Amino acid sequence: METFKLLAPLAWRNLWRNPRRTIITLFVVSVGLWSILAVASFISAWAQSSRDATLRLLIAQGQIHAVGYMDDPNISNLMPPPDEALVAALDTSGISNWVARLELPGVVQSEYKTLPVSLVGVDPEAERRISSIPSKIVEGRYLDGPEDDSAVIGLNLAKRLKTALGRRVILMVTAEDGWLEERSFDVVGIYDADTAFEDTYIFTGRRPMQAMVGVGDKIAQIAFEVPEDAALAGVVERLRAAAPTLDVREWRKISLIMGAMDATMGGVVFIWMAVMMVMISIGVINTQLMAVFERTHEFGLLRALGFKSRHVLLLVTFESVLLIGLGVLIGMIAGAATVWGLSDGIDLSAFGKALEAFKAGDTLYLEVNPIDYIIFPLAIWALGVVVALWPAYRAQKISPVEAMRQAT
Amino acid sequence: MPALTRRHLIATSAAFLVVPRMALAQDPQAILRAAFNNWRAETSHAVMEMTIRGASGTRSLTMESWTKGRDTALVRFTAPARDAGNATLQAGRRTYVFNPRLNQVIQLPASAMQQSWMGSDFSYNDLTKTEALVNDYTHRLLETRRAGGRNIYVIEAIPKRGKPIVWGKQIVTVRDDYVLLGQQFYDQTGVLVREMVTGKVRNIGGRPYPAEITMSSVATPDQWTRVVTKSAEFDLALPGYLFTRSNLQNPR
């Protein structure tokens, strides 16, 4: 404690003997930390936005299928409409919205092209509450009701088929008897999502589709929405209890890609942190080594006056603790200020099409994640001090006799 | 005025003589049905040469075909060696292909029916869905032309509402001896998409026959498929085993 009282003010004063060098190091540390925090906020906002945007299209937060449908989505793996117990569970267990859909792989044909697609039979009324597709119609209209036997197709698919609003396309879907059932559909609406989605999904009324493929009132899936992602696991459990013979899954197990993206998004921040750590380390080692070499004579004198070698080590380490600690503090303040400054959201709509592939929404809302503000500053501080042990160790090894003899 | 009356009379009686025949001939659906009967008869056996001019060059295939009724057909390729042995069997709604190198018969999934047949401008559907033009369209006789001493009927066919047909319309040209002279496929905005033209009419198997037909897409006019019928017999007795899967794989 005595040593600390002696060394702390000494270390602090030593820092400001060369203000320019200290400020440069502070700058490196604080900009490094600020960029880590900003990148972390941005990536988590982006991940959440793209997740929400994708789930809002069709997947919702979870789905119920017949066992086997996820592996082989064909007509033999459909499920009956939900029974009373399941409807009761869907209506009560913290689910904000749910829809029943029929979805089967098929082929769409125009005068010019034949392409594989997924035909989805929907109940438009319910779909408006759970899916963003009805609001993404750029030409024509969405479906009127569950009896509507027209088709709503994607913008890019319309382009590839060389078809347009008001024309008809032929859809072929394998029916109950194993034959490919063909039907002509009038294109009444064109929606604009991302191109991969547009190329895959064609929507029509659920009942005409059920009649077309001859499956009675069977459906392929129930999609449900939960207000809070945290409540999802519990909801899935309750639905499993209500429908033990069905396959209830949350979105991470439906879209494996999205589940994986969700899990690895955080990794990007750590890669950025590693890069920043190298930069900061170089800065800190450089400054502290310079500071130590410059003061060889001084350390020799201190040793001659009674400083133990560990006191020299402590002194130099203290200097780096203070230096990096101050930088970390500035970095944290700058990071938080950036996030608060952009709290109105970052408008990405100007980049519209270019960012479509990333599937994010048009506006990103950054947030301060408290855990980021504990983990990253502590990590930088600790690692910075550890690398600064090397200059400190060099200082400790200075022999007083040789150092004193050295001309200054 | 007497001169005029006499001429009038002659004209009217001449019209009377012709009208019953014309009335029958001018039902466009009957004309198309007759043209298809002329094409395939009840049974047929033909040797044909198919020339495919593609982006990468020209190749010629020789094939032998047997048809029975409206939905039964077998086509077997005989040359060149590379393609010899490949065969396609249409039996009702099912279509099978045999590949000698795989030594295997595959039933085509219906979704593959729109794919190109042996790399030609014909799809499997073109081979199997010929009847649709007669049954699933409403027909209108646009004009009757005279050329080479014969009447030529130009028939517009528009798909019936709800029928699974992508075309906006087809224009079919048929000669009065029921030789199909041409078939044009238009998209739903009235733009010509693909076209089949009969290049030569010869007497084959005792009937006038479109001996050379060429199919091409408007988008790629330098790529086409030409089928030349070398010889054919019609309404002959064909053995029942001909149209079976075992005969497809191991021809007797």
pLDDT digits (tens, 9 = 90+) for A279-319: 888 888 888 888 888 888 888 888 888 888 888 888 888 88
* Per-residue model confidence (pLDDT) at position A358: 55
Contact A109 B166 (CB under 8 A): yes
Q: With bands split at pLDDT 50, 70 and 90, how would you rate the model's confidence at B19?
A: very low
DSSP B109: P
Contact A180 B185 (CB under 8 A): no
SS3 A120: strand
CA atoms within 13 A on the CB side of B10: 5
CB-CB: which of B110, B162, B193 is closest to A172? B110
φ, ψ (nearest 5 deg) of residue A239 = -70, -35
Contact B162 A184 (CB under 8 A): yes
- For chain A, say whether B24 makes contact (Cβ under 8 Å): no
Q: Are B11 and B5 in contact (CB under 8 A)?
A: no
Contact B166 A179 (CB under 8 A): no
Determine the residue among B107, B108, B111, B116 to mutate to test chain A binding: the one whose Cβ has the most chain A Cβ atoms within 10 Å: B111
Q: A179 to chain B: which residues are within 8 Å by CB?
A: 93, 110
Contact A169 B166 (CB under 8 A): yes
User: May I ask the CATH architecture of the domain B3-249?
Assistant: Clam (2.50)
Nearest to A10 by CA among A241, A309, A299: A299
Interface list for B 117-156 with A (CB within 8 A): none
CA atoms within 13 A on the CB side of B87: 27
SS3 A233: helix
Helices (H), A342-399: 352-355, 372-387, 389-396
User: What is the Cα–Cα distance from A308 to A313, expressed in whole angstroms?
Assistant: 9
Interface list for A 159-198 with B (CB within 8 A): 162-163, 167-170, 172, 174, 179-180, 182-184
The pLDDT of residue B166 is above 60: yes
* Per-residue model confidence (pLDDT) at position A350: 62
CB atoms within 10 A of CB A349: 9
Contact A183 B164 (CB under 8 A): yes
Q: What is the ipTM of this complex?
A: 0.76
- What residues contact residue A339 under an 8 Å CB cut-off, 6+ apart? A37, A38, A41, A366, A367, A368
What is the least distance, in Å, from the CA of B103 to any CA of chain A?
Answer: 25
Q: Write the pLDDT tens digit of every residue in A348-371.
A: 666 655 555 555 556 777 777 788
Mean pLDDT calculated for residue range A261-265: 78
Contact B111 A107 (CB under 8 A): yes
Contact B189 A110 (CB under 8 A): no
User: What is the Cα–Cα distance from A20 to A284, expressed in whole angstroms?
Assistant: 14
- For chain A, say whether B56 makes contact (Cβ under 8 Å): no
State the pTM of this model: 0.75
Averaged pLDDT of chain A: 86
φ, ψ (nearest 5 deg) of residue A200 = -95, -45
Integer distance in angstroms from the first to the last C-alpha of chain B?
A: 76
Query: With helix as H, strand as E and coil as C, how does A237-261 read?
Result: HHHHHHCCCEEEEEHHHHCHHHHHH
Q: Are B137 and B158 in contact (CB under 8 A)?
A: yes
Interhelix angle A2-15/A309-341, nearest 10 degrees: 60
Among chain B residues, the shortest Cα distance to A171 is held by B164
